[in-house]
C-alpha cells in the first residue's frame, strides 16, 4: 500500500512535498506529498496566533487573488487542494494512469504518472457552477499547473496558487486564507492535510487522503453537502452545525 511506504527524499519529494524537518517532539506532517509520507499527520503544537511580522504581512501584502469576476459576485470562495485530494501522482509507471506529465528537473525530463480520484470530474464541474473555485497547492507549479490543465476540463478553477503563495511556518507550507483577498466569512478550504489550514481550521472541510482506491466515493458524497452550503449566508454557523450533528 502506498500509504505505508516510508518517506522518500528523492525528486518527487522536492517537486511535490511540503514537508520539512521539524523538531523531534513533533510528528511528521503530510502536506501535499503524494506517495511520499505514510499517512496524514497532525500537529502536536499549533500556535493560536501568528507572529507579529506575519500579522503585518497579512495587512500589507498584495492579495493572492485578483478581483472577483462579476459572474461570481456573492459566491463563496472554495479553495481546493490537489494532491491526495483530487489526484495521486507517482514517478513509478502506473498502468492505469489517467495522464502522464513530463516535468523537467535539473535538466532531465521525468514522467509523472497521475491518477484521478473517482468522481473528480463530476465534482469539479458541479463546484465550478456553484462557487468561485481556487486551486491552492503547496506543490511546484511546474508539476501542478499542467496537471490542472488536464484535470479541469470545465474551467472550474478561476485562479491557481502554488507553493510560492504558501506561508512557511514551523517547518510546513501553510495556506493562509487571510492572504487571498476575500472575506473569510465567505471562504472554505477543502484539503486532506490539517497542516495546510492550521491558521483557519474553522473554514475547513477535511477530506480523506486518496491514493488508489477506485471504489472511493468521497468527492461524490460531498456534492450534496456543498449544494446546501452554496445557499447559506453564514458559513461558520453552517459548518459548526454540521460538525455537531456528525
Catalytic residue from among 23, 83, 121, 213: 83
The gap from C-alpha 105 to its chain's centroid, in whole angstroms, comes to 23
Closest residue by Cα to residue 85 from 120, 113, 37, 131: 120
Question: What's the CA gap between 5 and 16, in Å, rounded?
Answer: 16
Catalytic residue from among 81, 152, 176, 191: 81
DSSP-based helix, strand, coil % in the chain, nearest 5: 35, 20, 45
What H or E segment, with its residue span, contains residue 192?
none
Could you tell me where the DSSP H helices lie in 83-217? 120-130, 141-151
Question: What's the CA gap between 203 and 119, in Å, rounded?
Answer: 24
Question: What's the CA gap between 121 and 53, in Å, rounded?
Answer: 40
Question: What's the CA gap between 4 and 91, in Å, rounded?
Answer: 17
Judge whether 83 counts as a catalytic residue. yes
Residue 78, C-alpha cell as written in the block = 472554495
Residue 57, C-alpha cell as written in the block = 504581512
Q: Which residues are catalytic?
A: 81, 83
Amino acid at each position: 500500500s502506498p500509504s505505508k511506504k516510508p518517506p522518500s527524499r528523492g525528486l518527487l519529494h522536492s517537486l511535490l512535498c511540503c514537508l520539512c524537518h521539524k523538531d523531534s517532539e513533533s510528528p511528521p506532517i503530510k502536506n501535499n506529498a503524494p506517495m511520499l509520507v505514510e499517512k496524514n499527520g497532525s500537529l502536536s503544537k499549533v500556535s493560536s496566533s501568528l507572529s507579529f511580522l506575519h500579522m503585518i504581512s497579512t495587512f500589507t501584502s498584495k492579495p493572492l487573488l485578483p478581483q472577483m469576476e462579476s459572474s461570481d459576485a456573492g459566491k463563496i470562495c472554495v479553495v481546493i487542494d490537489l494532491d491526495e485530494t483530487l489526484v495521486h501522482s507517482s514517478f513509478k509507471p502506473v498502468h492505469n494512469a489517467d495522464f502522464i506529465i513530463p516535468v523537467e528537473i535539473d535538466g532531465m525530463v521525468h514522467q509523472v504518472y497521475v491518477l484521478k480520484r473517482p468522481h473528480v470530474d463530476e465534482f469539479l464541474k458541479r463546484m465550478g457552477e456553484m462557487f468561485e473555485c481556487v486551486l491552492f497547492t503547496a506543490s511546484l507549479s511546474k508539476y501542478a499547473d499542467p496537471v490542472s490543465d488536464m484535470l479541469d476540463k470545465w474551467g472550474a478553477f478561476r485562479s491557481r496558487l502554488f507553493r510560492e503563495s504558501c506561508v512557511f511556518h514551523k517547518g510546513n507550507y501553510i495556506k493562509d486564507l487571510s492572504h487571498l483577498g476575500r472575506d473569510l466569512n465567505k471562504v472554505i478550504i477543502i484539503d486532506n492535510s490539517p497542516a495546510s489550514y492550521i491558521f483557519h481550521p474553522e473554514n475547513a472541510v477535511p477530506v480523506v487522503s486518496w491514493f488508489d482506491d477506485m471504489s472511493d466515493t468521497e468527492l461524490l458524497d460531498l456534492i450534496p453537502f456543498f449544494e446546501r452550503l452554496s445557499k447559506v449566508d453564514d458559513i461558520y454557523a453552517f459548518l459548526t452545525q454540521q460538525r455537531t450533528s456528525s
